[in-house]
Every structure is written in C-alpha cells, then in structure tokens.
Chain A
C-alpha cells in the first residue's frame, strides 16, 4: 500500500476537520472527492507532513507521516490548486530550482527540467518569463515542477481548474499517461467529477471529515445501491414518501426525470408496488448505470 492512514483525526480549534479516517490506497490513480469542508485539503496537508494529526497514524510510501516528513516530501510531487510561481524566472530556471530544492544535483536538475518541460508541452516556451504565461501554461508548469524530481506519488489539487476545454483535455491526457504508463501513483483531488471519473479507478469520498465511501469505482457502483430512472404521472409526492419510507432516496430532476437510489438489498419491484399503492403511473423505467455524480449524490447526499 502506498498510502495508509488509520483513525486519522484533526481539528482546527473546535472545528473537526477529520474524524477517524481510515483508508488504504494502492497503485494507480485515486480520486479524492468531497464537498467543501469535507476534509480533503486537511488530509493532503497531513499526508504531506504540514499538519500533525491529533490522533491516529499514517504512512506514505512506508514513511511515517509524523516522523519522516522530509522523506515523504522528497518522494511526493505536489501540484497545488492556486497559481504559484517565482517572479522574474523563466520556466527552465523555475523547474530546475525546485528540482534542486528536492535534492537533485544542479546540473541534473537543469537537464531534467528541460525534459519535463518538453513532456508537458512547454518546450518551446521554456525560456519565456513566467509572468507572461497563460493560465493553461501555468497549470502545465505546476505539473512540470511536481514531476521534475521523478516522484513516486503525485498529489494533484484541482489540476484542471481555470482551464478551457482544450487545455483541460491536454492536462487530463498527461495525467492519464503518467498514472497509466509511468508507474507514478496519482492522488487527484477535484470537485470536477468528470475528471475523476475519466482518470481514476479508485475513489475516496470524504464528507464532514469522515470517510463516506472508498473503493474501486466499479465496486462502489455495484455494492452501495442501484439507480433507477423513471417518469411518473400522478401523485409524485405520495410515491416519493412511500419509497423513502422503504429506505430509498428519491430525487426529481428539472426535466421531470425521477432518480431512485435503492439500497443494495432492495427489490426493484418495490418501485412498482409503491406506484400501485399511491396510484402513480410509471411511464418510463430504466436501470441506470451509476455515474460518479450519482455515486457522490448517493453517498454525500448533495446534487
């Protein structure tokens, strides 16, 4: 296991940020999901060794998060969410600078900076001042500085934020290549569910500081619940209450589509029985493949 935490808890004053989170993450790309205030950033801070957990323990690449923070930071590449650069530098100097700070010899860092800048598509503009870079270029530059010391794990915080569709596709393509072919594990924190669905095989969902769901996307879809989409004619309110009393979650979309999240053990025939009891007519019924958005809504309880 490359990341393993057990009973991890942290609070900012009276506010509980993480509450007894236990998880084990293996190889490949892992998506870190959760609404604002769920504890994603706090978890990343603790994994990078910036915060000392109030309770619990954890290891990143077998390094203790309390005692071996320098080793963790040497092995991890971090791409922050916000724009960040050093004023007055060009891309090569910037990238090699952070390679050196990671512990690379100066000449090696410079050589490696050229390589990763070509890899992320900034080869032609590597001698341009960073102050003149566009948002998309800065995003790729952040990825380059995270890769320069050849980390074993990449922590990516909202890697596609502020990007246009083309830029987003390019960055996602790079991340896919890194996680799939370069044996670098990726921990991707994002609020863009499509990004995580596109890149990650495993997902961790945090809600209110607690672990809401964790596992392979396919398993989570299968185990937790079944999703049915239907259209109704008749007393929709009575139908909804009937199903909710049976432990289902019912969401009505703006276009009139009704989504029913049924617990794993429930019988889909209950939907028809509920319709019969409440006098509602079912005009459309389909078992839907759960998207990550549905999974997120089902687990966290938000649309």
Chain B
C-alpha cells in the first residue's frame, strides 16, 4: 500500500476558543485576497486621486497669496466650507471610483464561494449566516471607508493644520459627524448592493458587469424617464442621484433635486432590504451538502 504521509499526524494540544468577532478572519482574508490582484492595486491607488486633488485645493486656499499669479478670482473658487467637503464626498467621480474598486475587489466575495462550493466549508465551522455576511460586508466597509471617511476626516484635519487655527472647526463643529454619517450611509448601501449582486451569480466577471451595469443603467433610466415625464422624482430611479440627494441633506446643503430627501433615503433603504432578503435566501446552510 502506498504511503503518502511525509510526517505523522500529531494531535493539537491547544484549546479552541470562542472568538468575540468570529467573522474577523473572513474580513482580513477578503481584504488580502483583493490586494493579491495586480490590477486592483492600481485601481485602488487611483481611487485616491480625487482626495489628493481636494487636498491640494485645500492647501492652495490657505496660500492664496503664493498662488495669486496662477489662480484668478480665487476668493470664490476656493471657498472652503461644508459644501467643499460635500462636493468631494457626493461627487460622481468618487461614486464611480467606489463602484470600480468594489466591482473589482469585492465582486467575487460571495460569487466565488458559490462557484467553488466553499459555503459548506464555512458553515461546517462554528459560524452562523450572520457571521459570514458580516465578515463579507466588513471587506466592503473597509474599502468604502478608506475612500470616504478617512480622506474626509483628513481633509478636515489638514484644513486646521494649514489654517493654523481651530476657527474652521468652531464654525462647523458638526462637519466631522457629517463626514462620518455620510460615509456610514455609503458603506451600508454599497455593502448590501455589492453583496446582493455577488450572490446572484457564480461568475465574478458577471458580477463586475452587473455592478457597473446596474449603477449606470439606473442613471440612464433616470435620464430617459426625466425626458419623458419632466419631473424631478424620476431621479429616484438613479443610484448616484439618490446618494447625492442624501449626501446634500446630511451636509446641510441645498438639495440637488426638488423632492424631500426622505424619498431618497427610502429608496436606498429599500435596496438594502431587498438585498438582505435575497442574501438570506441565497446563503443557506441547508444547501451545504449536495
């Protein structure tokens, strides 16, 4: 009889513990696996370009005298107030980059597990469905927060550093909370949105297309319906429009669409509820043994 053992089996003398956060290995591994993709590193690095641009703008606004020759009418152009931060966090380019990063780095979070039948391995461990989903959502939370909350708060800090005083903070003490609040909203929404699409296919490439396609199609649909019905309510069909509307509300800015922000919050919440229902149905331990 052939012997394949290169070493004998020894019992492990440790003790299996109950983790406080049993989902943490799923999150850490999900993040590491995303960074193992070469293209993802470039996409992720590129996603910081808007924050760098805004940081430069912030610096220039405090050194207007030095840049007078370059910038004309700078007083109006670089007026740093909550709108400046809202512009960064609710900008279409940032949403686009977040979708790009998530489609590439997180699209396969559930799709790959479905494709390679690994759900049965997860659920044969002392893990619940809740732990599994929290672990996967935390991967998305990491990427979204690092592109929103982190630069947003750093911009506030750099504004204070460049200004050399706390005057700005005393003027808008709620601004960091708005940054955190809107970042949290984006995190929750994108976590449900990406996981929903990831659970609908076993092919991460299809998920990539679905993630982008749904995002862009919603805006195209808004454009078509708005052209037909001529009512701002058609913006409710657009994902980025709803995010902008919610963001403007959180930052206390003028709403970009002429309808109450609560409608946009309701649409975003509806998508999350739909996603939760689909995930609850798709991620089931009874399917683990075929």
Give chain A's interface residues, CB within 8 Å of chain B: 41, 44-45, 48, 50-51, 70-71, 73-74, 76, 78, 80-89, 93, 97-98, 100-106, 108, 112, 115-116, 118-121, 123, 140, 145, 147, 149-150, 157, 166, 169-170, 173-174, 177-178, 182
Interface SS, B side: loop
Complex contact B120–A98 (CB within 8 A): no
Complex contact A145–B2 (CB within 8 A): no
Query: Which 9 residue pairs are nearest across A and B when measured between Cβ atoms?
Result: A121-B4, A103-B16, A78-B124, A150-B12, A84-B117, A70-B126, A118-B7, A101-B125, A100-B25
The answer to whether residues A84 and B33 also contact, given A73-B126, A105-B14 and a CB cut-off of 8 A, is no
Complex contact A80–B121 (CB within 8 A): yes
Nearest CB of chain B from residue A174's CB, rounded to whole Å = 7
Which of the residues A85, A89, A115 comes within 8 Å of B7, measured between beta carbons? A115
Which of the residues A73, A105, A150, A173 comes within 8 Å of B17, measured between beta carbons? A105
Complex contact A102–B125 (CB within 8 A): yes
Closest residue of B by beta carbon distance from A69: B126
Binds A, one of B41-49, B92-100, B163-171, B281-289: B281-289
Complex contact B9–A178 (CB within 8 A): yes
Complex contact B9–A50 (CB within 8 A): no
Other than the known A88-B37, A166-B2, what 14 A-B pairs have Cβ atoms closer than 8 Å? A48-B124, A48-B289, A50-B123, A74-B125, A85-B116, A86-B116, A86-B118, A101-B25, A115-B7, A119-B7, A119-B9, A157-B289, A173-B4, A182-B11
Binds A, one of B107-115, B191-199, B205-213: B107-115
Give chain B's interface residues, CB within 8 Å of chain A: 1-12, 14, 16-19, 22, 25-26, 29, 33, 36-37, 108, 112-113, 115-118, 120-127, 285-286, 288-290
- Assembly CA distance A102 to B52 (angstroms): 42
The answer to whether residues A50 and B116 also contact, given A101-B22, A101-B25, A173-B1 and a CB cut-off of 8 A, is no
- Assembly CA distance A262 to B39 (angstroms): 70
**What residues on B are CB-neighbors of A182 within 8 Å?**
9, 11
- What is the number of contacts between chain A and chain B, taking CB atoms within 8 Å? 138
Nearest CB of chain B from residue A148's CB, rounded to whole Å = 8
Which of the residues A97, A102, A169 comes within 8 Å of B126, measured between beta carbons? A102
- Assembly CA distance A276 to B115 (angstroms): 63
Closest residue of B by beta carbon distance from A124: B6
The answer to whether residues A170 and B4 also contact, given A48-B124, A74-B126, A101-B127 and a CB cut-off of 8 A, is yes
Complex contact A80–B6 (CB within 8 A): no
The answer to whether residues A116 and B9 also contact, given A45-B286, A88-B33, A104-B14 and a CB cut-off of 8 A, is yes
Would you mind naming 29 contact pairs between A and B with Cβ atoms under 8 Å apart? A41-B289, A73-B127, A76-B124, A80-B124, A81-B290, A82-B120, A83-B116, A84-B118, A84-B120, A87-B112, A87-B115, A89-B33, A97-B25, A97-B29, A98-B121, A101-B122, A101-B127, A102-B16, A104-B12, A105-B17, A106-B25, A108-B12, A108-B14, A115-B7, A116-B9, A119-B8, A123-B7, A149-B16, A166-B2
**What residues on A are CB-neighbors of B290 within 8 Å?**
41, 81-82
- Assembly CA distance A98 to B125 (angstroms): 8
Complex contact A103–B117 (CB within 8 A): no
Closest residue of B by beta carbon distance from A112: B12
Complex contact A50–B8 (CB within 8 A): no
Nearest CB of chain B from residue A72's CB, rounded to whole Å = 9
